[in-house]
Amino acid sequence: MIQVSGLAYGYEASKKITFPDFGVAKGEQCLLLGESGSGKTTLLHLLGGLLRSQQGNITIQQTDITTLSESEMDHFRGKHAGFIFQRNHLIGALTVRKNLLMAPFLAGLQQDESRVEEVLRHLGLLEKRDVRIQELSQGQAQRVAIARAVLNKPAIIFADEPTSALDDTNCERVITLLKEAARENQSTLLVATHDQRLKSKIEQQINLK
Amino acid sequence: MNLFRLVWSYLKAKPLNTALNIVLLSLGIAVITILLLFNNQLQQKITDNARGIDLVVGAKGSPLQLILCNIFHIDFPTGNINLAEAERIARNRLIKNAIPLALGDSYQSYRIIGTSKAYADLYKATLQTGNWWAADMEVVTGAQVAEMLKLKIGDSFTSTHGLTSDGHAHDEQRFVVKGIMNRMGNVVDNLILTNVESIWQVHEVHAEEAEREHAVALDSSIVLSMLVPTIAAGDSTKEITSMLIQYRSPMGAIQLPRYVNGQSNMQAASPAFETARLFSILGIGVDVLMAFAYILIFISGLSIFIALYNSLKERRYDLAIMRSMGATRSKLFISILLEGSLLTVLGSAIGLLMGHGTLLLLPMLVVEAQKAGISGVVFYPEEWIILAGSLFLGLLCALIPALQAYRTDISKVLAGN
């Protein structure tokens, strides 16, 4: 599913980060652990093709993404990957429903309203369909971000510090929902975090130094 | 979801900003539209009204006044000329047609023109109802006059001296409406036509003098005047206001004005020359307004640029997140261009509507505008240029912000540093 070998990235030549080789199988859930500055976000961005010009190879779904052109990468990402970030980064000008519809629209897929309803119902957000993003609580917004990430049934979900801004209750809830959503959609889940609360939630872990 | 809806949502999310940009641009476009419609229609009217008239001969004074008074009927007469003298000019072989005009009276501020049937023929005027005047004190009115004053065949009225409604009333003599002309879309719509003798009649103080003139006219051995065929040629007591002249050949344009201005105490003015001069005078005012409109448009362009530029700073995360969901650089580039051009096209469309609306309302509020016959429902091909130009303006204003969107480093933005 995901295969990484000989991966290294340098923002500057002197500060090169070298990543361990690893692989994650289809449908697996995996935690990327490490202190701030250890390159968790960089690795996640490299895997998602948000960051390019690296050394080494990244193979996702039998495709070596390092060989894709930029727009090919954009399309690949739209079809196969879903992202969740620490700050939820929903589009404030749009309602919940329209935020979700952005995922298939930007990926160039069919926009299916019933799929939107299905995902919202699963995450307990159906009554928030036509609400503006500003009116949501932090926890609700993070759930909408999860909904958006799983809407296209992506092969992989990348989550970057999805819980570090949340209190214990919401943290618990969000990680549970995230794991459930990934399982339901048969998506591989990769969570980059330094949040110690998650250590007990996902067994497979990769430590970055 | 589609790109248009996305862009529209962004515009709706900042209603005040969007409204300000649209209002600024639409004001500028409205001014340009009004000037365009007004100027084009005015030129059209002036050309229509002056068509077929090569020269106006009248009393000495301002040549522009002579033209304004005798062709467009908006200024006051320069004075009277002697009929006998006018006839001497009219007999020149270079003249094909000479039409006498006797002004001085009005009814409810609509001018009564003493002239010959040739004047109506000049504007190809035709009758809606009734007949042309056959005897003294019979009038034919323009369509606008009849409509505004609710005149019908057989109605009679007394005229007022001067060209405003508060002048001295000529109560002794009553004009009778014999016919109403079709709407011609030119100056005759606002005129009341009659023969020259009627104008003389209302102004004559001594009734006995009138009888004497009449007796002369009945004597068949006398050569009749070519301008006013009921009186003898060379009658030195009669006066008219002016004479409209058509040349027989282009030679007339070279010789006649010099001849009239040099050899008589009258003056000749060329409508073509004087209207060109009028436009160059009006042109300054039009240019100033035009410059004002362009400044408004420039400011709105600047405002749109600043709004897009600033909102893009706020939207860096939105752009990055859209890239993470599979949007290509070019899609984001296009969406920003679309946002700019949507604003300007909307602004200019509203501006065009405002311009047409203003000219539609103006005649309802200002009587003079109604007389001028300026319409708001006329469309010119230049309006497409305005729309296309504003589209270009939108693209131009959005270009730099769009390039920024294109160049956004998604990883950096998402990592939060």
B33 and B130 belong to one structural domain: no
Q: Does A11 touch chain B (CB under 8 A)?
A: no
Domain membership flag for residue B278: no
The confidence score (pLDDT) of residue A111 equals: 92
What value does the CA radius of gyration of chain A take, rounded to a whole number of Å?
Answer: 17
Q: How far A23 CA lies from chain B's nearest CA (Å)?
A: 22
Q: Would strands A22-24 and B81-82 be described as parallel, antiparallel, or unpaired?
A: unpaired
The shortest CB-CB distance from B326 to any of A42, A74, A101 is to: A74
Write down the domain spans for chain A. Answer: 2-207
B323 and B260 belong to one structural domain: no
Whether the per-residue pLDDT at B224 is higher than 70: the answer is no
Give pLDDT tens digits for B306-321. Answer: 999 998 888 888 999 9
Q: Which amino acid is at B2?
A: N
- The mean pLDDT of A126-154, rounded to a whole number, is 91
Whether the per-residue pLDDT at B351 is higher than 90: the answer is yes
Q: Show which of residues 314-333 on chain B sit within 8 Å of chain A, judged by CB atoms.
A: 317-318, 320-331
B173 and B194 belong to one structural domain: yes
B252 and B367 belong to one structural domain: no
Domain membership flag for residue B377: yes
B299 and B164 belong to one structural domain: no
Cβ separation of A106 and B12 shorter than 8 Å? no
- Picking from B296, B341, B311, the residue whose alpha carbon sits closest to that of residue B401 is B311
CA A63 vs CA A3, A33, A57, A59, A76: distances in Å: 10, 25, 10, 5, 9
Q: Which residues of A touch B413 (CB under 8 A)?
A: none
Annotation: CATH topology of A2-207: Rossmann fold (3.40.50)
- Which residues on neighbouring strands pair with residue B56, listed in sequence order? B244, B269
Whether the per-residue pLDDT at A164 is higher than 50: the answer is yes
Domain membership flag for residue B18: yes
Whether the per-residue pLDDT at B322 is higher than 80: the answer is yes
In sequence order, the 6+-apart residues with CB closer than 8 A to the CB of A11 are none
The shortest CB-CB distance from A78 to any of B317, B320, B326 is to: B326
Q: Does A70 touch chain B (CB under 8 A)?
A: yes
The confidence score (pLDDT) of residue B222 equals: 60
B236 and B311 belong to one structural domain: no
B292 and B160 belong to one structural domain: no
Contact predicate A122/A64, CB 8 Å: no
- Per-residue confidence at B217, pLDDT binned at 50, 70, 90? very low
- Picking from B31, B38, B35, the residue whose alpha carbon sits closest to that of residue B299 is B31
CA A100 vs CA A161, B199, B300: distances in Å: 21, 83, 34
Give pLDDT tens digits for A79-122. Answer: 999 999 887 789 989 999 999 999 999 998 999 999 999 999 98
The confidence score (pLDDT) of residue B202 equals: 84
Q: Which of the listed residues B269, B294, B323 is the one where a domain comes to its end?
A: B269
In sequence order, the 6+-apart residues with CB closer than 8 A to the CB of B127 are B140, B179, B180, B181, B182
Specify burial of residue A1 (Cβ count, 10 A radius: 0-12, 13-18, 19+). Answer: middle
B221/B126: higher pLDDT: B126
B294 and B261 belong to one structural domain: no
Count of domains for chain B: 2
Domain membership flag for residue B276: no
B99 and B246 belong to one structural domain: yes
Whether the per-residue pLDDT at B342 is higher than 70: the answer is yes
The confidence score (pLDDT) of residue A74 equals: 92
Q: Show which of residues 88-127 on chain B sit within 8 Å of chain A, judged by CB atoms.
A: none
Q: Which residue has the tokens 């062709």?
A: B71
Q: How far B323 CA lies from chain A's nearest CA (Å)?
A: 7
**ipTM score of the complex?**
0.91
B200 and B76 belong to one structural domain: yes
Residue range(s) defining the domain that contains residue B94: 55-269
Q: Does B410 touch chain A (CB under 8 A)?
A: yes
Give pLDDT tens digits for A1-41. Answer: 899 988 888 877 777 888 899 999 999 999 999 888 788 88
Q: Does B131 touch chain A (CB under 8 A)?
A: no
